[in-house]
Amino acid sequence: MLETIEYKQTLDSFYDYLFGVIKLHRDTIPKLKDELMLIQSNSIDELSDNLNHQQIFLYQIKNFDQEVAAYMEKLNVSGKNISEVINQFPEDQQDRFAKLLAEFKEVAKEIEFYKNKCQTLLQTKLHVVNKNIAQYKAKQEKTTYGEDGKNDSSIKIPSAFEKSI
């Protein structure tokens, strides 16, 4: 494709857009670190605020696919992913886009790491909560039986004779 001024401007605009998206992703890493710390400290209200800020991030990138598709159309390129698209750019432009893509991959790995840590910690805490609830229910279910072997709930057992397992 002939490199016109408009084409170069569109290419620069696309680069700036991708750079901005990567910056948004990079800016979410401290929030994920905070989320991990808040989960560890059981700070429910602060965790809720943190998750609200993360939803803002999701809102900011919600149109990513449509934006990329619009740039691809303007630049007259196609591809299943950004790597394929970059390979269709003029050679003097490919390097800067490739560096941007490599940076995004690193940021994405770090985001995935913290998301997995948070998920694992939440699952562990949920397991502990479920275990405590089950123990509480077990303490509430005090079934007594009469001499005939039938359930007799009218007998009250003093707590001094209880044993929890």
Distances (CA, A) of 140 to 63, 97, 118: 52, 63, 33
The model's pLDDT over 89-105, given as tens digits with 9 standing for 90+, comes to 999 999 999 999 999 99
**Across the chain, what does the average pLDDT equal?**
86
Q: What b/e sequence results for 15-34 when a residue is b if at least 16 CB atoms lie within 10 Å of its CB, and e otherwise?
A: beebeebbebbeebeebbeb
Higher pLDDT, 137 or 122: 122
Q: Which of 6, 11, 7 shows the shortest CA–CA distance to 100?
A: 11
Task: Report pTM.
Answer: 0.73
pLDDT band at 164 (very low <50, low <70, confident <90, very high): low
pLDDT of residue 1: 45
Report the pLDDT averaged over residues 22-46.
Answer: 93
Q: Among 5-9, 61-65, 101-105, 157-161, which is the least confidently predicted range?
A: 157-161
Q: Which of 29, 30, 45, 53 shows the shortest CA–CA distance to 110?
A: 29
Q: Which of 11, 161, 6 shows the shortest CA–CA distance to 97?
A: 11
Question: Domain map of the chain by residue range?
Answer: 5-140
